[in-house]
């Protein structure tokens, strides 16, 4: 896989095409078919009990995979999630940012398949693991 969009290009693309994600998440690094994103956890990401909500964790996993797909595909705003399976494995650490590491396992003409590990804090065990499939729109 070749790198089609670097970190700067992806940040610009997200700010223009997906500003709600760009406002919440930071692209830390990008390689062809791989990306690392960070979510600074705030009160709006918490659920009762003081832990990070499932929708916040899912959102991070989904955007991380979107960035990984775009890194190898190029600027295709209409690539969309068609399937996601997520395992919540342990409670995130209080007051810690979440970091998602996404990697593509397969990039085809129609579908992209990958996985994401999400950690809470540096060097911690994963708090969640997701497997995602993206649909790639046909070339016009």
Where exactly are the structural domains of the chain?
A: 7-135
The whole-angstrom separation of Cα 139 and Cα 35 is 24
CATH number of this structure's domain 7-135: 3.10.129.10
Give the model's pLDDT for residue 95. Answer: 82
For residue range 9-42, what is the model confidence (pLDDT) as tens digits?
999 999 999 999 999 999 999 999 999 999 999 9
Contact 88, 117 (CB under 8 A): no
Low-confidence ranges of the chain (pLDDT < 70): 140
Q: At what angle do helices 7-17 and 54-73 cross, to 10 degrees?
A: 120
Q: Is the model's pTM score more than 0.85?
A: yes
* Residue corresponding to tokens 């497997």: 131
The dihedrals phi and psi of 2, each to the nearest 5 degrees, come to -95, 150
What pLDDT, on the 0 to 100 scale, is given for residue 124? 80
Per-residue model confidence (pLDDT) at position 140: 53
pLDDT of the residue at 40: 93
DSSP classification of residue 121: S
**Strand ranges of the sheet holding 111-120, from the earlier edge strand across to the other edge:** 25-31, 34-39, 98-107, 111-120, 126-135, 80-88
Q: Identify any residues that bridge with 27 across adjacent strands, giving them in sequence order.
A: 37
Distances (CA, A) of 99 to 107, 122, 125, 135: 23, 8, 11, 24
């Amino acid at each position: 896989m070749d790198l089609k969009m670097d970190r700067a290009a992806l940040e610009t693309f997200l700010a223009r095409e997906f500003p709600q994600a760009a406002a919440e998440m930071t692209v830390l690094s990008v390689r062809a078919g791989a990306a690392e994103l960070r979510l600074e956890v705030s009160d709006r990401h918490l659920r009762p009990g003081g832990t990070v909500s499932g929708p916040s964790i899912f959102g991070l996993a989904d955007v991380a995979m979107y960035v990984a797909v775009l890194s190898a595909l190029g600027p295709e705003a209409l690539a969309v999630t068609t399937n996601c399976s997520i395992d919540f494995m342990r409670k995130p650490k209080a007051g810690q940012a979440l970091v998602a590491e996404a990697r593509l396992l397969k990039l085809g003409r129609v579908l992209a398949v990958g996985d994401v590990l999400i950690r809470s804090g540096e060097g911690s065990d994963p708090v969640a693991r997701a497997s995602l499939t993206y649909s790639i729109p046909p070339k016009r």
